Amino acid sequence: MLPSKKNVDNYFACNSCCPFCDSEDLRLDNPIQTEETHAWRDMQCPDCGKQWREEYSLICISIRSENHDTWYSDEAKHDGKYYSHEKEKT
């Protein structure tokens, strides 16, 4: 049985409740594991017994300096080049 779209949307919004039964009693089966630019962790809900995997990928890097925060994002890639975004600290 798959979780409802509503439950999945709620999970993406806050990931603090089970995407199957909405229970807030979640268990982390293991710490976050990584491989190059990918990371994951296995989750479970003791209330309904369902298990799932959260998966993460590298989407940007942030470089902080005294006066600026600069980040490079894969989403900002154009013509094979990464473009930076800068924000001046106030």
Coil, strand or helix at 5:
helix
User: What pLDDT does 49 receive?
Assistant: 95
- Residues 32-41 have pLDDT tens digits of 999 887 899 9
Q: Same domain for 50 and 65?
A: no
Backbone φ/ψ region at 36: left (φ over 0), alpha (ψ -120 to 50), beta = left
Q: Same domain for 47 and 12?
A: yes
42 — phi, psi (to 5°)?
A: -95, 135
Q: Same domain for 65 and 34?
A: no
- Residues 48-78 have pLDDT tens digits of 999 999 998 877 777 777 777 776 666 655 5
User: What pLDDT does 30 receive?
Assistant: 83
Q: What is the mean pLDDT of the chain?
A: 80
Q: Same domain for 39 and 63?
A: no
Domain count, the chain: 2
Which residues span the domain enclosing 36?
5-57
11 — phi, psi (to 5°)?
A: -65, -45
Q: Same domain for 12 and 45?
A: yes
Q: Same domain for 29 and 45?
A: yes
Q: Same domain for 53 and 9?
A: yes
